[in-house]
A = this chain, B = another copy of it.
Amino acid sequence: MSSERLIYLPLGGAGEIGMNAYVYGYGKPGQERLILVDLGVTFPDMDGSPGVDLILPDITWLAERKNQLEAVFITHAHEDHVGAVAHYYEALGAPIYARAFTSNIARRKMEEHGHSEKAVRTVSPWPEVTEAGPFKAGFVPISHSIPESSGLVIDTPDGRLVHTGDFKMDTDPVVGEPFDASVWEAIAKPGVKALICDSTNVFSPMEGRSESSVGPEIEKLVASAKGMFVCTTFASNVARVKTLAEAGERAGRSICLMGRAMRRMIEASIETGVLKDFPKVVSPEDAKQIPRESLMLIVTGSQGERRAASAQLAQGKYQGITLAEGDTFLFSSKTIPGNERGVIRIINQFSEMGVDVVDDTSGLYHVSGHANRPDLDAMHKLIKPQLVIPMHGEHRHLREHVKLAKNNRLYGVLAVNGMMMDLSQNTPTVAEYIETGRTYLDGSVKIGALDGVVRDRIRMALNGHVMINVILDEDDEPLGEPWCEIKGLPETGHSRAPLVDVLEEDLSQYLGRAGSKTLIDDDKLEEGLRKVARQSAMGEIGKKPEVSVIISRLSG
């Protein structure tokens, strides 16, 4: 088939929460002109990606087609939407379009990586549009939990697409533009081919609550607090930071922002005019001089991150400030699944100090930034698209969102990362399966998630590591005994002799018995030594360690 087609290809975010990256294309098969919506990251964890610094979508497919790529559009400045722009700028080379606040954040990233800030282009909101090959894309203000979030209206030769980005229907979002149903109605009027729609909260059965609803509750809490009042939220939730600061100000407290991300976000908000009338803040240096009952700290680390301000305060001290009995610590945030242990650790540390911790169990001090099930339902009805394509969610979310669409008698498309959908037909079909996955930023190097590097690390963590060193002389005869070192293994086992001695004894015996066929063959010798070491360890300590063998040949 050589006629033109409209394609949709998620490279990240469809089948997971995080690392959003959605490709749209139009043209003859294989020659489509492409745009990318969002280019985010996700975060590593000890279970699956120990030691990794950041997880990026694998964009190999797109990088191989960089000359077809017209533009990258970033819907908002959350890390899971903008976090990879600088890491992949060289690989993709396309201009990056975003609204002012998002651009500000993107430019800081480009600068840190030594890329030109000019690659990031600030655009005005809808009805202004940006032409990118066969596409015309406009940023439509939508409410979320960060300033200037936008949905994208993407006009294509095959019809109009509405890509919501992350959103909620908040008509009073404290900072930034309220959700305006009439704008979306007008957008929907000419007919929408597909609604590509946020899915994270599809399992939340109640209508979403407005950001403005938490203010009065926080104010009450602050007003009743006796000692120092410390609170944390996502640094990017500028509306919340403002609400917290204003509650502090009204209670007669001086406000101090702590943590780099917190100060950076507020700075970007003020620079871009998103945030006006933020209460006066004091520096951590000055905060130390203020009586604790007159002080409010707003700090980073709502997810229990080990290096953030909250964790350091829980350890004892941060920038000269120490919490004490009678102080209050508020989590104005939810704990993202997987982060529970870190958050609970902090809460218990505060408990030991006598600090009263208020978390989100009551539901009073935090609201989600995403559309809940009834809101998604309302969005379907507002846009009335031919197709609903759920995005940004794990498989269970996408599947449930498809069901919801079907309830609304809409055609739902379940497309996960790597499924290239041909949207030109009346019934969308899978055009191709693209290899996708995760790329790890490890130190300063990008490695594939399946390269085996991290798998080896996990194995060392689970099993410990034995290193064996054997020297063979010019005649391929063992020179002395094999040496052993262990790391991450008990020093002694059942025999009460040092584990290293037991291993060396067994390896020595093996080496003594080994014939010349084995001794001249590195692979065979290594295999034999490994097997002996693992069996020997199994008998001694009841587990089979990872084994590395270094064979040194003086003949070499």
Contact = CB atoms under 8 A, between A and B. Distances in A.
Contacts of A546: 487
Contacts of A357: 396
Interface stretch (A152-160, A232-240, A251-259, A455-463): A455-463
B461 A461 contact: yes
A552 B337 contact: no
Interface stretch (A74-82, A125-133, A208-216, A443-451): A443-451
Nearest to A362: B205
B490 A50 contact: no
Nearest to A336: B340
Contacts of A552: 469, 471, 480, 483, 552
A464 B471 contact: no
A469 B542 contact: no
A431 to B, nearest CB: 21
B395 A352 contact: yes
Nearest to A341: B338
Copy tally for this chain in the complex stands at 2
Interface string A459-489: 0111111010101000000011001010111
Contact of A399 (B203, B351, B542, B548): B351
B51 A453 contact: no
Contacts of A493: 444-445
A394 B337 CA distance: 20
A538 B491 CA distance: 30
A109 interface: no
A138 B45 CA distance: 47
Contacts of A469: 469, 550, 552
Contact of A490 (B447, B463, B543): B447
Contact of A341 (B337, B361, B454): B337
A47 B341 contact: yes
B442 A550 contact: no
Contact of A543 (B442, B465, B550, B556): B442
A119 interface: no
A46 interface: yes
Contacts of A471: 471, 552, 554
Interface residues of A, number: 66
Contacts of A51: 461-464, 488, 543
A348 interface: yes
A517 interface: no
A347 interface: yes
Contacts of A445: 490, 492-494, 541-542
Contacts of A463: 51
A171 B538 CA distance: 50
A183 interface: no
A344 interface: yes
Interface string A512-547: 000000000000000000000000001001110010
A146 B507 CA distance: 49
Contacts of A447: 490
Contacts of A453: 464, 488-491
Given A454-B488, A556-B480, A45 B341 contact: yes
Contacts of A456: 464, 487-488
A394 B344 contact: yes
B444 A542 contact: yes
Nearest to A456: B488
Contacts of A444: 493-494, 541-543
A279 B338 CA distance: 38
A349 to B, nearest CB: 8
Nearest to A448: B490
Interface string A344-363: 10011011101001000100
Contacts of A480: 552, 554, 556
A407 B196 CA distance: 53
A15 B345 CA distance: 11
A276 B325 CA distance: 53
B395 A348 contact: yes
Given A458-B461, A460-B461, A443 B541 contact: yes
A288 B491 CA distance: 48
A488 B460 contact: yes
A347 B400 CA distance: 12
A469 B469 CA distance: 8
A287 to B, nearest CB: 26
Nearest to A52: B462
Given A51-B462, A337-B344, A479-B554, 9 more contacts: A45-B341, A46-B461, A338-B340, A443-B538, A444-B542, A457-B488, A461-B461, A467-B548, A471-B471
Counting from the closest, the 10 A-B pairs by CB-CB distance are A444-B542, A443-B542, A443-B543, A461-B461, A457-B488, A50-B461, A51-B462, A351-B396, A460-B460, A456-B488
23 contacts: A15-B348, A45-B341, A47-B47, A47-B341, A50-B458, A51-B464, A51-B488, A337-B344, A348-B394, A351-B395, A351-B396, A354-B399, A444-B541, A444-B542, A456-B464, A458-B461, A460-B460, A460-B461, A471-B554, A483-B550, A485-B550, A550-B550, A552-B552
